[in-house]
């Protein structure tokens, strides 16, 4: 992909992020400030459900804002890094952003100290539930950024020997000498010795 195309998509991602933030502010203002002042009885109708409406708006628009911010980071990284590295960063940012959004909404809905406790509890639950996946994703990000091995290298890693076919966020794919593919989790790759027998071209 050419630099001009990447720059164009970068501008589009920035515009998308700004658009979602502005839309959230406008819709929030419309529902909670403008409509109650112009439509008689709207405030009384909205009041029992205002927390739910606020949470729904925050979750919906928040997800789109997180997604747009992750895409912006992706296209910024694409200016200097390959797709695999930028995609890994985008995935990690999306996971972290959605987790932070859920904790913030939970904290805001519960209010005060209860909100902080609830947000912390949700963070712990999500952390324990995704510990293995996040560990692999962070290890994959490390492998993609540091690049101890590259596609085309003939390596021996985690007891497997062959040519590196691909390095993704979660796995490093090696084609063994007999033609079979070995998918090595990146957290194993980071935690083991890597023998580069021959560098690829």
Note the pTM of the prediction, 2 decimals. Answer: 0.62
Spans of all domains in the chain:
3-129, 148-198
What residues are paired with 156 via a beta bridge? 161, 195
DSSP-assigned letter for residue 163: E
End-to-end CA distance of the chain: 21
- Please tell me whether residue 116 adopts helix, strand or coil conformation: helix
**Residue-level length of the chain:** 201
Of 48, 74, 134, 132, the closest CA to residue 98 belongs to 134
- Using alpha carbons, list the distances in angstroms from residue 85 to 46, 88, 189: 46, 5, 16
pLDDT at 150 over 70: yes
Q: Which tokens hold the place of 187?
A: 């957290």
Which CATH architecture best describes the domain 148-198? Roll (2.30)
Determine the pLDDT at residue 110.
Answer: 66
Band of the pLDDT at 142, cuts 50, 70, 90? confident
Q: Which residue has the higher pLDDT, 41 or 129?
A: 41
> What are phi and psi for residue 123, nearest 5 degrees?
-60, -40
């Amino acid at each position: 992909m050419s630099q001009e195309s990447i720059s164009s998509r970068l501008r589009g991602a920035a515009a998308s992020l700004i658009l979602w933030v502005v839309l959230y502010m406008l819709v929030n203002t419309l529902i909670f400030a403008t409509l109650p002042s112009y439509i008689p009885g709207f405030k009384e109708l909205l009041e029992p459900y205002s927390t739910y409406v606020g949470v729904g708006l925050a979750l919906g628009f928040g997800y789109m804002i997180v997604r747009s911010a992750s895409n912006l980071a992706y296209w910024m990284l694409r200016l200097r890094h390959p797709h695999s590295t930028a995609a890994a960063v985008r995935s990690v940012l999306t996971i972290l952003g959605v987790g932070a959004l859920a904790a913030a909404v939970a904290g805001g809905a519960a209010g005060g100290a209860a909100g902080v406790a609830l947000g912390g509890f949700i963070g712990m639950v999500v952390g324990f539930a995704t510990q293995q996946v996040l560990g692999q994703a962070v290890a994959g990000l490390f492998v993609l950024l540091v690049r101890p091995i590259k596609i085309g290298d003939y390596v021996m890693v985690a007891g497997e020997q062959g040519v590196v076919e691909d390095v993704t966020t979660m796995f490093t794919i090696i084609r063994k000498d007999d033609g079979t593919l070995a998918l090595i989790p990146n957290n194993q790759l980071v935690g083991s010795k890597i023998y580069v027998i021959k560098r690829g071209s």
